[in-house]
Amino acid sequence: MKTIIAEKPSVAREIAGLVGASDKKDGYLTGNGYFVTWAFGHLIGLGMPEEYGISGFDKASLPILPNTFLLTVRKVKKDKGYTADTGALKQLKVIEQLFNRSSSIIVATDAGREGELIFRYIYEYLKCNKPFERLWISSLTEKAIKQGFDNLKDGAAFDGLYQAAQGRSRADWLVGINATQALSIAAGNGIYSLGRVQTPTLALICKRYLENKNFSVTKYWHIQLSHNKELIDFKSISKTKWEDQKLADDTLKAIQRNETATVTSVETKSVTEQPPLLFDLTGLQKEANKKLNLSAEETLNIAQSLYEKKFITYPRTGSKYIPEDVWAEIPNLVRALQDRETYKQAVSKMKWGRFNKRIVNDLRVTDHHGLLITDKIPSALNAKENSIYDMIAFRLLEALSQACIKAITDVGLQALHYDFTAKGCKVLEAGWRSIKGSFSDDDTEPVQDLPELKKGDELKIKEASVLEKKTKPPVLYTEAGLLSAMETAGKEMENEDERKVLQNIGIGTPATRAAIIETLFTRNYIQRDKKSLIPTEKGLQVYELVKERKIADVAMTAEWELALQKIENNEADAEAFQKEMENYASSITNELLQTSIAQNNLPKLVCPKCRSQQLIIRDKIVKCSDEDCNWIQFRNVCAIQIGIADIESLVSKGKTSLIKGMTSKAGKKFDAYIVLNEDYKTSFEFAKNKSYKK
């Protein structure tokens, strides 16, 4: 017998159907010489400090650097502690029994770093020594799975992948555990969670937020002229920008008296816009955030669902290319789209026999190729799934199309002795832009049509006006912008050699970036303001504490991703990386333990109920220090974090200021005051004096 282990029950069922294991048992399927079972994601993880006999946050125990890392069954929170997850224990027992009854194992967990880790940690925890082979597939279609079984690879071929996954897992433990404990001990006021990738990501958001907030906007003025020639209206704008409005107005009057502008130069050049490459996961997440306002995690979950329904290939990919052997399947995918009404028109524009091969590059394919649809075309998807599927399908059609060729014309004009410019654009060959019929990117201003112009032409000025402009602060990060910054963290670096090495290396990986952003929300470090991501009071406080420290260094984190990639490709030593992480964890622990945290920014408030004890102010709650009194107020009310000033106002005056943008259970936004009632419980008071208890 052989045991096949998948990452999830749904994938196990697909595989079981193909290998003929149709007999359902508790926790597995069997038949035709196979047991087919599954994990539920990470069943086994690294043990917490308690497993090493270190309880609580103890300064003397830091830094914690295990000689041997202990593996433990997944834990769930219970009361004040953690206990082993009963579901995980039960499934682990099933897996152990099947491994013992088998001659060998086929690993069918997701084909990537984390999928490898899920299996290897189970294998190691169970002290299993049975031989294993690896099923490596990029889609769950019957054809792909069969091909995968025909080409099973020896498990040892993926040792580099496992060592990189294990290195990432241990590095996150060493940094996360030690840094969190060190800063929390130094603070003496609540838990300050820090992490190897989480903290540099928070630093990116906070730095941008403060640059935006502290930016001083200045005004300046341009002059715009309107012209008409050959029945075509077009505009030109002054090269000069005036910082004094009166000077701009005086110049305008002089130009208006002059009434004409002279063409001083006409330059037309042909611009070739190559089609976009396929989506990798981060590219899809950025596009879905811009167009559909979906979070990175939502997009990943939708893509994962489409993958499990066999409609798209493996989504957790960092590549935008396909290997040569997949190219032969591409025409079938395009043909399959013909039958769906949405794509008929787009497919009719495709040049059969002349598909663009830019996406084919064996050297640029990582664990998995770029995102493709499969030949199984969906008929009934929910709206969000439909939108994500459309993005992937249209991107494939665009990528296979020819380049778009435009003629860009730059015209120089002179009115009085001031220089003006006008820009025009003509599409000569639509190419890939005809697929969706969009000829300019969303973030570029539409370019106007220009008449035939030549040097020396005199143009009448139909109208002239002064335009008031403002300097723009650095834009706050949206999730799409943050994903870009995480993806290209190396670009920010000042050292040119380092920048070259890290130019394509970011922080986190396509598979983990969504979870990192969600962690910052869970920790109450960031919040959404419309589409923008902004830090909370707590997030800014953490940033202020660590911004000069190594743990906030984006470049260093990017270097580690590079090191992990090298370990994966057997080009670097995993033990040397771990040693480096231990040294790093020791140095940041010492750095953070010396951090002085000013407590005086928190007001000293007396409990409104017992009127004798001081209140303990935490980021999630405010409570009386006397357990008998037990007065408590949660700080997150209807999806809004209540600031310190409002807590102070509630306790001393019985009422907060008007809190805007709260969300009711029905999902509706409302504004209200939070008021303290006679029974010391709180309720809402609306501007029209309606109130109801929370």
* Structural domains of the chain in order of their starting residue, each with its CATH number: 2-166 (3.40.50.140), 178-213+475-594 (1.10.460.10), 219-274+404-470 (2.70.20.10), 281-400 (1.10.290.10), 615-686 (no CATH)
- Between the alpha carbon of residue 286 and those of residues 291, 365, 510, the distances in Å are 9, 20, 11
According to the model, what pLDDT value does residue 564 have? 92
Rounded CA gap, 658 and 646, in Å?
A: 9
Residue type, 497: D
Rounded CA gap, 474 and 212, in Å?
A: 5
Rounded CA gap, 559 and 360, in Å?
A: 28
According to the model, what pLDDT value does residue 473 have? 95
Q: For residue 282, what are its two tokens?
A: 């981060």
The residue assigned the tokens 């984006």 is: 554
Positions of E strands within 138-230? 153-154, 219-229
- Between the alpha carbon of residue 409 and those of residues 265, 422, 429, 469, the distances in Å are 10, 8, 16, 25
Specify whether the CB–CB gap between 550 and 199 falls below 8 A. Answer: no
Rounded CA gap, 409 and 268, in Å?
A: 4
According to the model, what pLDDT value does residue 614 have? 87
- Residues with pLDDT less than 70, the chain: 80, 189, 442-446, 490-504, 596-601, 688-694
Q: Which residues pair with 672 in a beta bridge?
A: 659
Q: Report angle CA 118, 551, 510 to the nearest 5 degrees.
A: 40
Catalytic residue, from 314, 477, 584, 673: name it.
Answer: 314
Instruction: State yes or no: is 321 an active-site residue.
Output: no
Rounded CA gap, 390 and 535, in Å?
A: 33
> Which residues touch 630 (CB under 8 Å, ≥6 apart)?
623, 624
Rounded CA gap, 428 and 511, in Å?
A: 40
Q: What is the DSSP letter of 431?
A: G
Strand order in the sheet with 691-693: 659-663, 669-676, 682-685, 691-693
Rounded CA gap, 71 and 87, in Å?
A: 17
According to the model, what pLDDT value does residue 502 have? 62
Cis omega before residue 63 (within 30°)? yes
Instruction: Using only the alpha carbons of the chain, give its radius of gyration.
Output: 30
Pairing of strands 34-38, 2-6: parallel
According to the model, what pLDDT value does residue 691 have? 47
According to the model, what pLDDT value does residue 489 have? 79
